[in-house]
Every structure is written in structure tokens, then in C-alpha cells.
Structure 1
Amino acid sequence: MSSINFKETISPFFWSESDNSASVCLTVGDYRNELFKTRAKEGFEGSGYDWASLAKVFLEEKQPELAGVVKFDPEGSMYCAYSSDKEALKQFAIAFKTAVEDEVLIHDLFSRAELD
């Protein structure tokens, strides 16, 4: 996949890389807010931490071979996953974005996300 197609595929997530590692991030606030509102009474608000909680469930259940390879470093306004294995992170980014767009799958995964 070309880098332009990859960036379009994962949008609104965005890719950043350095010599030794890469990250895929999302500035939270505008994307999939309705998902997090379904559990607002539990304290979910769609923060970077909430996105990381969702991504952890996805990783554990759908790509367990990447657990420990893909790591998370969220902030309140930013979700961020990173890895020194750029190809593994690309696989994760594409699969996670696809899952987020699948209404049934993402609501199922989110039902098991835990507040961080």
C-alpha cells in the first residue's frame, strides 16, 4: 500500500515516524463521539485514555500477536499508539480503523473497555 493510500485509509488517525519508531495518533473530539456517549454515565468521554482503553480490547481480542509490540501513550486530548516495529503498527492501524468503522464490532469491543 502506498503511503498516500495508507494515510487516507487510517484518516482521521495520522502517522508519524522517526528513525527508531512510529506512532499512529488521533486528536480526539470529533471522531466517533457517539460511541463514547453510549457509556458516558460510566465516565467515558472520548478522551485519548478512552480511545486507548478501546484499542487495548481490540488488540487483545483481534490481534493478540501484536500485544507487547504495539504500546499506548494517550493524553487527554490525544490517542497515540506506538511501536519500534513499523510494519506491525501499520497492520494494527489499518485493522483498528476498520474495526472502528464497523458499528456492530466496535460497540461489542467497547462494551468490554475499562476506564483508565
Structure 2
Amino acid sequence: MDINNFAAAIEPFFWVEHESTISVCLTVGEYKTEIFQSREDEGFEGNGYDWESLARVFIDEQAPELSESIDFDSEGSMFCAYSSDKEALKKFILQFKEACENKKLIMDLFSHAELD
């Protein structure tokens, strides 16, 4: 997959290459807000930490082979996953984005997420 097709496939997430690591990020607040609204009475806001909780559940339940390769550095306004393993991060974001587009799956995964 060329870089333009890859960028389009993961939108609205975006890919950032650094000197020794690679990040995939999301500016929160516009994509899939309904996921987090489903549990706002529990304190979920859809911020970067909430996205990180969802991503951790996704890895635990759907891609445990990536758990040693992917780290997180989210903030309130931004979700961020990073790795020194480019292929592992690509695999993660392509699968995670696909899961986000599957309403039944993503809502099931989110039901296991814990508030940070």
C-alpha cells in the first residue's frame, strides 16, 4: 500500500515519523463521538485518554501479539500510539480503524474500557 492510500485508509488518524519512533495520532472530538457518548454518564468524554483506553482493550482482545510493540502517549486533546516497529504500528492502526468502523465490534470493545 503506497503512502497516499495508507494515509487515506487511516483517516482521520494521521502518521508521524520521528527519528527513532513512529506515531499515529488523532485529534479528538470529531471522530466517532457517539462511542464515548454512550458512557458519558460514567465520565467518558472522548478525550485522548478515553481513546487510549479503547485502543488498549482493542489490543488486548483483538491483537494481543502487538501488546509488546505499541506504546501510548495520549493527552487530553490527542490520542497517540507509537512504536519503534513501523510494521507493528501499521498493522495496529489499520486493524483499529477497521474496528472503529464496525459499530457492533467497537461498542463491544468499548464496553470493556475503563476510565483512566
CA distance in 2, matches of 1:43, 1:105: 21
Q: SS of the counterpart of 2:6?
A: helix
Give the total of aligned pairs: 116
Aligned to 2:81: 81
Matches for 1:47-62 after TM superposition, within 5 Å: 47-62=47-62
CA distance in 2, matches of 1:68, 1:25: 19
* TM-score, length of structure 2 as denominator length: 0.99
Aligned to 2:99: 99
Q: Structure 2, unaligned stretches of length 5 or more?
A: none
The question of 1:29 aligning with 2:29 is answered: yes
Q: Structure 1, unaligned stretches of length 5 or more?
A: none
For residue 113 of structure 1, report the CA deviation from its aligned partner: 0.2
Deviating above 3 A after TM superposition, structure 1's stretches of 4 or more consecutive aligned residues are: none
For residue 19 of structure 1, report the CA deviation from its aligned partner: 2.7
Q: RMSD of aligned C-alpha atoms?
A: 0.5
**Residue identity in the other structure for 1:80:** C
Task: Report % sequence identity.
Answer: 60
CA distance in 2, matches of 1:19, 1:48: 23
**Residue identity in the other structure for 1:28:** V
* TM-score, length of structure 1 as denominator length: 0.99
